[in-house]
Each structure stands twice: as C-alpha cells, then as structure tokens.
Amino acid sequence: MKLERILPFARQLLEQAVSRGDIVVDATLGNGHDALFLAQLVGDSGRVYGFDIQEEALNHSMERLREHQLLERVTFFQKGHEHVSNSIPPIHHGRITGAIFNLGYLPGGDKTIVTKPDTTISAIDQLLEMMAPEGIIILVIYHGHIEGAVERDYLLRYVKGIDQKRAHVLQYQFINQKNNPPFIVAIEKR
Ligand code: SAM
C-alpha cells in the first residue's frame, strides 16, 4: 500500500516539524512508544515533556527510555495534560515544535481510564499558545469505544472552529475501513 498508514503518518509529520535541540510534548505517555520516538528526534540537546495520570504509564515509559539510555532527555509528570502550561518552564514556552496526543486508554491497562474531551481540549488550547510558529500538534483519535466516539465528536467540533489565521487543521483518515480504526487530526500553528 502506498498511502501512509495512520501511525507512520503521525511520525512523518513530527519528523517534518521537529529538529534536534527542540522542545516537544508527549501529552499521553501510555507505554512510552511516542516519548521514545520524540527523545530520539530531539537529540541530546532537546527535551521531551511527558504527561500521564497513571503511575503504571509513567513506570512503563521510564523503563522504555531507560532501556535506550535516553532518560536524561525527558521530564515526565504524573498529572493530566490539562496542566501543560504551568508544568513546562516559561523559558521553553514558544519553543515547542511538536506535540502528540494518542487518545483513549492505556493498551494492556485499565480500559475505564480514558482521555476526556474537556481536558484534551484545554491542553490543545494551551499548547497552541505555547507552540513555536509551524509547530505541529498531532491527535490520534481512537473512536472504536463509546467514550472515544464522544471524544471524537467534541474534538472535531473544537478543531473545526479554530480560526484559520491561528492554525492549519488537517484530518487524515481511511474512510472505508471497518471497526472505526484510529485517524489523525494535525494542527499546525501559523
Ligand atoms: N502514546 C502512548 C504509547 O506510545 O504507548 C499510548 C497512549 S494511551 C492510548 C492513552 C493514555 O492517556 C493512557 O495511558 C491514559 O492514562 C492517559 N491519559 C488519560 N487522561 C489523561 C490526561 N488528562 N492527561 C494525560 N494523560 C491522560
């Protein structure tokens, strides 16, 4: 298949937006796959800020980064991404070039703990203020579970309402696949 699949496309967008030495955000650490990818992208002079509300996710993510000897590039918070603005030091505001939200529940974890529309939207809104121009926020939206479908509807309404002078907003989705596979919304700050 020549069309890029969803997760590789998310990473391709981040690769385009992020350079060595940059500041980036993993808004939903989960098992730390995205945090590891981001830590490799920013190099040893960059920094990855990561958020998750579950201790289990923090532990898995720390372990993954430790295995790759990249722990010194990351700062992880066990708190919701809705606290992003007052968690990232002011000196790094305006320097964030990439952020990713992999929404839904922790794979292999408690499926009742899911991301929620109001806190997700609050975090996106704060990040949009804090990004560098041409910085990209990626949302990977899982809408195969009930809460995910609700979150999808709120998020699409919110992102469609972002002023086009403030950001470019792209939706990337396979529209003829069964079982509601995830899709991407990418928001590029202008
Ligand atoms: N990116 C992850 C990876 O690479 O493995 C997968 C993320 S998983 C789909 C979603 C995560 O979001 C869960 O670990 C969950 O605990 C977390 N989460 C839920 N609400 C959150 C919030 N308000 N702030 C930050 N993380 C949250």
Residue that is written with structure tokens 């009930």 in the block:
146
CA–CA gap between residue 159 and residue 45 (Å, rounded)? 32
Q: What is the DSSP letter of 80?
A: -
The neighbouring-strand residues paired with 139 are: 101, 185
Cα radius of gyration rounded to whole Å, the chain: 15
User: Which atom of ligand 1 lies nearest, measured to the CA of 36?
Assistant: 4
The two tokens of residue 65 are: 């980064």
Nearest to 81 by CA among 124, 38, 114: 124
Per residue of the chain (190 residues), give pLDDT as tens.
999 999 999 999 999 999 999 999 999 999 999 999 999 999 999 999 999 999 999 999 999 999 999 999 999 999 999 999 999 999 999 999 999 999 999 999 999 999 999 999 999 999 999 999 999 999 999 999 999 999 999 999 999 999 999 999 999 999 999 999 999 999 999 9
Q: What is the pLDDT of residue 176?
A: 96
CB 70 within 8 A of CB 40: yes
The neighbouring-strand residues paired with 189 are: 167
Q: What is the pLDDT of residue 80?
A: 98
Centroid of ligand 1 to alpha carbon of 133 (angstroms): 26
pTM of the model: 0.97
Return the SS3 of 131: strand
Cα end-to-end distance, the chain, whole Å: 32
The two tokens of residue 160 are: 């469609």
Centroid of ligand 1 to alpha carbon of 115 (angstroms): 7
Nearest to 23 by CA among 160, 108, 144, 127: 127
Q: What is the pLDDT of residue 73?
A: 98
- Cβ < 6 A, ligand 1 pocket: 27-28, 30-34, 51-54, 57, 80-82, 102, 104-106, 113, 115, 119
Q: What is the pLDDT of residue 179?
A: 92
CA–CA gap between residue 141 and residue 81 (Å, rounded)? 16
Q: What is the number of alpha carbons within 13 Å of residue 154 lying toward its C-beta?
A: 16
Centroid of ligand 1 to alpha carbon of 166 (angstroms): 26
Q: What is the pLDDT of residue 3?
A: 96
User: Which atom of ligand 1 lies nearest, measured to the CA of 119?
Assistant: 23
Centroid of ligand 1 to alpha carbon of 100 (angstroms): 10
CA–CA gap between residue 159 and residue 39 (Å, rounded)? 27
Q: What is the pLDDT of residue 132?
A: 98
